[in-house]
Structures are given as structure tokens and as C-alpha cells.
Amino acid sequence: MDGTAGLRADYAALHRTVVSLTEGEDDVVALMATVVCELHHADDRFDWTGFYRVVAPGLLKIGPYQGGHGCLVIPFERGVCGACARTGEVQLVPDVDAFPGHIACASSTRSEIVLPVRDATGALIAVLDIDSDRPDAFDKTDAAELTRLLEDVFAR
């Protein structure tokens, strides 16, 4: 990890804030917008933070996000987001240039983490994509904490 990193997410506090803000809300877009806003501003590593929603079999479309423009449509067969949607597994990518088929929505992206988002029935409803302009910005702790947060917001 980069030793010069500034603000790093306090996952315990972030979790409490997001759960409190989203309590009683069942509109998925409202939930996504709130989660992405809180996440994006909680950590200096997060250069682009957003959701890609499952809108048809094998197809993701951009949802609420913070940062520069994102790709509008991503098929499950392409890129890191597609790999996450296709496999249902967290994608932890320390170097996007080494990821076969990476879609460069922003030239500044150096590393990425993408997590599946499931509803209460276990159905995949989206993926959460967080890009960093730093190489090797994310680790297993990020994956575990973000997974727990997504479960508590979307699968309740």
C-alpha cells in the first residue's frame, strides 16, 4: 500500500453512518446514491465510485456514481465489472493494465475493486465499482468491509 495515503475509510464509522442514513429505505436507486456518496468521500484512494445495475440478462448500465464520467453500458463478457457480474465474486485488481479485457473508462485508473451487490433473495442486482488512480490501492480488508456494508444495505 502507498505509505503516503491520506484519508482512509474508517469502515466501522462508515458502516454506522450508511446503515443509519438508509434505514427504512427500500428504493434501490436511493440506496445506491447514498452509499456511493458516503463511500466516495470517505477515502482518498477512491477516484471513481459507482454502481453498474443489472438491467437485462448479461448487461450492466451505469447507476449512481461520483467522479468523472463512467462507461454507460458494460456487457457481462467485458472488463472487471463484467467479470464480477459473471462470476459473482469480488474482483481485486492491483494493476488494471494487467487485467485481460479491462475497459478503460478513465485513463487515470490504475487499480480497481468491484463487488457483487445482491438483494434479499440473493439475486445479483448490481456491481459496485471503485477505481483508484493509485496502483495496488485495495486489499482483502477493503473487500471484506465493503462486502459486509453492501449486504447490510441491499440484502436486508
Say what the pLDDT of residue 1 is: 45
Residues in contact with 74: Cβ distance below 8 Å, sequence separation at least 6, in sequence order: 52, 59, 60, 61, 81, 82, 103
Residues in contact with 72: Cβ distance below 8 Å, sequence separation at least 6, in sequence order: 61, 62
Biggest distance spanned by C-alpha atoms of the chain: 42
Class of domain 11-154: alpha beta
Sign of CA dihedral 104, 105, 110, 111: negative
Say what the pLDDT of residue 107 is: 73
Nearest to 150 by CA among 29, 17, 31: 31
pLDDT tens-digit profile, the chain (156 residues):
444 446 889 999 999 999 999 999 999 999 999 999 999 999 999 999 999 999 999 999 999 999 998 899 999 999 999 999 999 999 999 998 888 777 777 677 899 999 999 999 999 999 999 999 999 999 999 999 999 999 999 998
Identify the DSSP state of 108. T
User: CA 70: distance to chain centroid?
Assistant: 12
Q: Show the cell assigned to 87.
A: 462470476
- Residues composing the chain: 156
Nearest to 146 by CA among 45, 6, 3: 45
Say what the pLDDT of residue 156 is: 86
**Where are the domains positioned within the chain?**
11-154
Say what the pLDDT of residue 108 is: 79
